[in-house]
Chains A and B, each alone.
Chain A
Amino acid sequence: MPSFRLPLLLTSVASVPFGLAGPVAAQDWVPAKPFARNSPYVAGDMHNHTTCTDGTVATSYLLNRALGSGTTNGIPNFNLDWFTHGNHGGSGNRDCRFSDTSANLPGNTTTYWTDTLGQTIQDVTITALKGDVPNPPPPRAAMYRWQSIREVEYPIIIAKSKQFKKVAIEGLESIVPGHEHSDTAVINGQFPVAGVGNADRMSEFEFRFDRADTDTLGPVDASNNPVWTGKSFDNNGTAGHAKAVQGVTWLQANAPLTAYYVPTHSERAGPFSPTASAGYNIEHFRDFNNAGPTVAFGIESPGHFAESNHSYTAASSGGATYGGGGLYTAKVGGLWDGMLGEGRNFFIFISSDWHQRGIFGARDRASTADFFPGEYTRLYVPNQSAFRAQSVLDGMRSGNSFAVNGQLINQNFAFTASANGVTRTMGQTLEVRPGDTVTVEMRMVVPASNNSPYSFSNPLLKQVGVFQPIDKPALDHVDLITGDITGVIAPTDAHYAMPNTTETVYNPSARIAETFNKNNSTATPLPNGNLRMEFTTTMVAGSAPFYVRARGTNIPPATPNVTDSQGNPLADTNIDNVVCDDPACPAHLPIIDGTRRVDFDVEAWSNLWFYANPIFIRPAGQPKLLVETNADLAASLVKTLSAAN
């Protein structure tokens, strides 16, 4: 196959369809990243923390590591193309212009807001902690997050965006009423065409809808009257969920193209509780997507990739993670397939959830907790000739995105379905006639090495006689997963709400339709040591709509303790059974029954997966799928909002 086809194909499918871009926003300091670098997609992260909440490093340090390139004093930076800061809601008593003492960064000791009031630091001056009452009580009073979002984080993020000439956005990991958490961003006002921007809408959303924000007051006007009135404190159970839906509705009304709402580590808190704040069931994601068709379009997989069991306990839905992913993502026929089986725009995203490196310092490469944004996990959205903050949201909303752990593949990716001369990619719908041949193609590049600090043989693969350096992973196989689309389930339908158990099958038609490995794909070594892999297959369109999604991994099927005979990831708790017996196995791994076991960062670098969002296929003449009508809604909103402006 001629090699020139790859960039041509990538260029054509990676672009967001014309007309879906949201309102113009000026970020003239961000230059275009040219396609000449073979960058059809650009990498980012949307979920990460600092000392403004429960992280360990300063906001500026986090962005330096995430967006910087090369090394700084011998410490690697991770050169992401874009960055959204997704810190918790609520409050925090530490000044996040400083890193925590535990980060072990020279010159940084834990500093509290009460230590720095009135001082100008990093061009930010905080004179008072605002809101109703200091929380917690003095001497270490906290700043409510609605204040730190707009007065501290936002100006630092814009300064760093200009320094690195890259897109950086002020977002939020909302602590959701009735549930656990949700990645959120509202970019209204952050990037004005002219003048100074603000994160007031992001801040307002946090104040109104974050259950950890207990402030009753919020900002006040010149007469000391609250500006944001009508806040509800129904934060738990069924009433809390109703408040969460109100939050999504608020986003849809105020920021239909400039916000997203993506529940994160959504299995971790277990099934939903009608009386407390716990996890999510499928009906809650349906509620969100119904209330916010252009803002609530997916979920995020766990993060915390170097933490033992990725922060999931036995009480989580599924009882563990699976190949680093949550059950909702990892199980064929599971919750994700249930949502796709309705034809919903419901996509999977993955980010770092960076807080800290556990027992190590921020400059160490070993970790017993998290990885920096870009170090391990990368979320790819389409590149654009003028990539802006809006491009991140447009790319995520479109579904044309994929997420990769451990640099198993890079940005040179194409996943398409074609018929009758028409090609569609992830998030899009291919219209066919029954009996048409649908050609599915995937092309990807496996980098020669990744960011792992370890180079000993992957202990998971060693079990099956494969000796592969951890820092030079190979793609073992890719699964194409298909499922039937049977239509949207109405809230009044008995199947709208379903039991949430590990065994629940939400879409029984979902299956691994085809698996590609070295025996049935084309592998081409590239001059830089990378490996290009490509494969093509055909499917015959029937009379019913369906979807095809993909996942890939470095782990063969039937690898003990890691995958089953079909190649599905097993519960990651099983990896505790795998011995790490190489002399180079690090000393921080746990010892069980006298032997060191695979865990923490070694487990993360050993067990790599990527997930590509679905392509939808619909027979002509059948009603449009919800994913299509919601994309149409976004397109019409672009026109409406453009006309209004």
Chain B
Amino acid sequence: MGRILMLGAVVLMAIAHSARAVDDRQACVASVAAVRARAEAMPQGDLSRRFAENDLDTALAEMAAGDVDECRELVARAIHTIRVRPYQLHPGEVLDGHGPATPD
């Protein structure tokens, strides 16, 4: 009887944990969507937009891997990037990733 009660308690704790995790994940997905809409309002070639969108993509990957804290931090960083726009290309400047000279 005691074993059944203990097992039940573990399952209830796990269910509570899972329910909280689902809520956190849904909140993360919603905030990513909201910030992404702001990023997409920026010009297509804007370098700060590229940084922000990368952070939002990573936030979703973190969320899917269960790291909701990391998701929140990346969303906050994307908001900062959209607001401050610290990454800009000067006229005529090209982003160079030092990658392969020709795409495969």
Contact = CB atoms under 8 A, between A and B. Distances in A.
Top 10 A-B pairs, shortest CB-CB distance = A364-B97, A90-B66, A364-B99, A365-B98, A453-B98, A590-B86, A212-B66, A54-B65, A360-B97, A106-B104
B29 to A, nearest CB: 9
A233 interface: yes
Given A233-B13, A587-B96, A591-B86, 15 more contacts: A54-B65, A91-B64, A106-B103, A136-B22, A214-B18, A214-B66, A216-B14, A359-B47, A364-B97, A365-B97, A365-B98, A366-B97, A586-B95, A588-B87, A588-B95
10 contacts: A56-B61, A73-B104, A90-B66, A136-B25, A216-B11, A359-B47, A361-B99, A453-B98, A587-B90, A588-B95
Contacts of B58: 54, 355-356
Contacts, number: 112
A92 B99 contact: no
Interface string B49-90: 011001001100110111100100100000000000011111
B100 interface: yes
A331 interface: no
A363 interface: yes
Contacts of A137: 22
B21 interface: yes
B65 A88 contact: yes
B50 A359 contact: yes
B93 A587 contact: yes
A90 B62 CA distance: 11
Contacts of A592: 86
A187 to B, nearest CB: 24
Interface string A212-228: 10101000000000000
Contacts of B5: none
A373 B101 CA distance: 23
A455 B15 CA distance: 55
Contacts of B65: 53-54, 88, 90-92, 212
A472 to B, nearest CB: 17
Nearest to B62: A54
A366 B73 contact: no
Nearest to A229: B7
A582 interface: no
B80 to A, nearest CB: 11
Contacts of B98: 364-366, 453
Interface string A364-375: 111010000000
Interface of A: 53-56, 73-75, 88, 90-94, 100, 102, 106, 132-133, 135-137, 140, 142, 175, 212, 214, 216, 231, 233, 235, 313, 355-361, 363-366, 368, 453, 586-588, 590-592
Contacts of A75: 99-100
Contacts of A366: 96-99
Interface of B: 10-11, 13-14, 17-18, 21-22, 25, 47, 50-51, 54, 57-58, 61-62, 64-67, 70, 73, 86-90, 93-101, 103-104
Interface centre among B11, B73, B99, B101 (most CB of A within 10 A): B99
Given A368-B51, A590-B86, A360 B67 contact: no
Nearest to A133: B18
Contacts of A212: 65-67
Contacts of B54: 102, 358-359, 368
Contacts of B97: 357, 360-361, 364-366
A136 B22 CA distance: 7
B13 A587 contact: no
Nearest to A212: B66
A363 B102 CA distance: 11
A591 B87 contact: yes
A454 to B, nearest CB: 8
Which DSSP category, helix, strand, loop or mixed, fits chain A's interface?
Answer: loop
Given A74-B101, A214-B21, A590 B64 contact: no
Nearest to A584: B96
B32 to A, nearest CB: 14
A94 B61 CA distance: 9
A75 B99 CA distance: 8
Nearest to A313: B73
Interface centre among A94, A132, A356, A359 (most CB of B within 10 A): A359
Given A74-B101, A75-B100, A54 B67 contact: yes
Nearest to A368: B51
A361 B95 CA distance: 12
B66 A91 contact: yes
B64 A92 contact: yes
B67 to A, nearest CB: 7
B11 to A, nearest CB: 6
Contacts of A140: 64
A73 B100 contact: yes
B1 to A, nearest CB: 17
B67 A88 contact: yes
A212 B17 CA distance: 10
B27 to A, nearest CB: 13
A102 B57 contact: yes
Interface centre among A91, A140, A233, A361 (most CB of B within 10 A): A233
A54 B61 CA distance: 5
Nearest to B55: A358
Contact of B14 (A56, A106, A132, A360): A132
A94 B93 CA distance: 36
A313 B74 CA distance: 12
B47 A587 contact: yes
B10 A216 contact: yes
B22 A587 contact: no
A93 B64 contact: yes
A136 B64 contact: yes
A246 to B, nearest CB: 15
B17 A214 contact: yes
B16 to A, nearest CB: 9
Contacts of B66: 88, 90-91, 175, 212, 214
